[in-house]
Amino acid sequence: MFDRTFFNTRDLACKSPYGAVCSGTTVSFHLYPLRRHGFSRGVMTARFEFDVSRSVELPVVWTATDRGVDTFSVTLDVGDYVGLVWYSFRMEGLNGQYKELGEYQLTVYDPTDQVPDWFGKGVCYQIFPDRFNRTKIPNPAGMVGGREVHRNWGDMPRWRPNAQGEVRNRDFFGGDLQGVIQKLDYIASLGVETIYFCPIFEAAENHRYGTADYDRIDPMLGTNEDFAQMCQEAHKRGIRIILDGVFNHTGFVSKYFNGDGFYPNLGASQSKDSPYYDWFCFKHWPDQYESWWGIYSLPAVNEGCKSYRDFIFDGENSVIRKWLRAGADGWRLDVADELPDEFVRGIHTAAREEKSDAIVIGEVWEDGSNKVAYGKRRRHLLGHHLDGLMNYPFRSALIDFLLGENGDRFMERMETLRENYPPFAFYSAMNALGTHDTLRILTYLGTGTTRGEWAKHARAHYEMTDQERALGWQRLKLGLSVLFTFPGSPTVYYGDEAGMTGYEDPFNRKTYPWGNEDQEILAFFRKLGGLRKLCRPLREGDLMWGDCARGYISYVRSEGDVSVAVAVNAGADEAEISLPWNHRNAWDWEGGAWQRAKNGKLYLTIPPMSYRILLSERESE
């Protein structure tokens, strides 16, 4: 059980240092029972999950009393251990009474992994390549997959199943890398410093998550030379490139599996003598094999196969190394939970060896510090594995807050992450309100529902009412004020800044509406992107919470002698909010006026469904 009046893991008076610690740290604990409770001694039990032989019991001893409150203390030396420690307390009195607290999580990480800090500072822009921008209508003749190309850029993506009940995702719009190059200035105008691409390697499906050839840019997107040119042009504008690495499975239609015989070489489904046969796990060759979530078109690979590991990361000319040399700056690992820890570590090692400031981000939908997948606790954030994660817990918490959950619940959920994550992971999180795997955020906030009970054709053709769109935009402004000011990289899914709408895949993957953007929404994204790019506390500052309750939240980001205060009221009533403020005045970023602080605090009155951002210096306007 947990009793934070007795012991609070987030109070430095109770536990120091705060949150996760690096190996070699001695952690101090202090408990504060009331004197009248009569506790005379205690025991701390700590079990080291990744070292089953190590479990300790330490005496918790009385050290002081003050104004009717006792202090009991104990220290824990974690030594050279790296992993999770689960600890608890049992306090006992002379009369036989006792109190148990815990278990609590202590994350111990490897400090020798020097994580590059560039990713979490700036804005990230996610592109679904087929739908972003095209320079021509491509001819699909001779390309893998038997593709259909939409001549009309504004068509609805195909979503109805064929006669076999399959949605094959073989309809393409022809977005290409030259189209991205054309729009780099536009992307830069949003304050973007990183582009994260969904897969760009040759593949039969428009989403390209069933890779057909890891060594080749999909010809509809362009050439390997186009990729190098794009990276060069992006770098000129201060923009880095992160690629999507899909290494848990390949495509049924691929040079490795070659399920339809498209490629001239022998694939694993064609011959047991294929050099790729050992990459796959056949239950009955060639027609029964392990696949991702049972989807036959995505055969799963055996990540323990040496030749596969050599190909992906161990070899001198491996996939990881090749594309970093070509100009990429990092990798996002698809379904990271489904990759063995040692495989992820191998990718991480190869990436850092090839480019010392390369970053590796993982797709994990939950708290990545204690994630269990396939019966095994993952080492995602312990160092030398993943540098950060797609922060879906942030997305869930923020949307819940915008749709009516109490502000203190948002704070609680975020503090759990901050407490469990090493600092590098908390500040390198990929924070987003929408991705290619979620419905469009304007639709979600405007309708307040996924419409999961509707038939798919109803979701396909649903148009938001004017009232729903206005409500969605009102809520989105509040959400963006948090997204762009919170620790971690604010990540924008292409088209959200243009006011795109739609429910789930493929309705969230429509083409970018060039020339038909919602200019009000676009201007707001640009304004916040500019603030994030120029304002040092938002890029790397500490986080301190102000008042969080009912329908509002507030916090302060500080770096050195510069601070930013953020207050958001998503409720229906006016909110009176106070925040810690170590400055005499605060400049209202949008209101354009100074506000005086009193006794080390800012006192703000925030109208319903509104926000305020205040700066300690005007230089960050």
Read off the pLDDT of residues 206-235 as tens digits, 9 standing for 90 and up: 999 999 999 999 999 999 999 999 999 999
pLDDT value, residue 618 = 56
Q: What is the mean pLDDT of residues 82-89?
A: 98
pLDDT at residue 377 is higher than 90: yes
User: Which residues, at least 6 apart from 207, have a Cβ–Cβ distance to it below 8 Å?
Assistant: 128, 130, 169, 198, 199, 436, 509
Nearest to 516 by CA among 154, 165, 233: 154
Judge whether 15-109 and 123-248+303-534 match in fold.
Answer: no
pLDDT at residue 619 is higher than 70: no
Q: What class, spelled out in words, does domain 15-109 have in CATH?
A: mainly beta
pLDDT value, residue 3 = 52
Determine the Cα–Cα distance for residues 330 and 345; give it in Å rounded to an integer: 14
**CA 587 to the chain's CA centroid:** 31
What's the pLDDT tens digit per position in 398-453? 999 999 999 999 999 999 999 999 999 999 999 999 999 999 999 999 999 999 99
- pTM here is 0.97
| CATH code for residues 542-620 | 2.60.40.1180
pLDDT value, residue 5 = 66
What's the pLDDT tens digit per position in 254-285? 999 999 999 999 999 999 999 999 999 999 99
pLDDT value, residue 180 = 99
Q: What is the mean pLDDT of residues 129-133?
A: 98
Q: Predicted confidence band at 163 (pLDDT cuts at 50, 70, 90)?
A: confident
State what percent of residues in the chain have pLDDT above 90.
96
Fold of 123-248+303-534: TIM Barrel (3.20.20)
Residue 558 bridge partners (DSSP): 542, 563
pLDDT at residue 621 is higher than 50: no
Contact in structure between 520 and 562 (CB atoms under 8 Å): no
Active site residues: 334, 363
pLDDT value, residue 53 = 87
pLDDT value, residue 166 = 85
Determine the Cα–Cα distance for residues 330 and 242; give it in Å rounded to an integer: 5
**Domain parsing of the chain, residue ranges:** 15-109, 123-248+303-534, 249-302, 542-620
What strand order describes the sheet that includes 240-245?
A: 388-389, 359-362, 330-333, 240-245, 192-197, 123-127, 489-493, 430-432
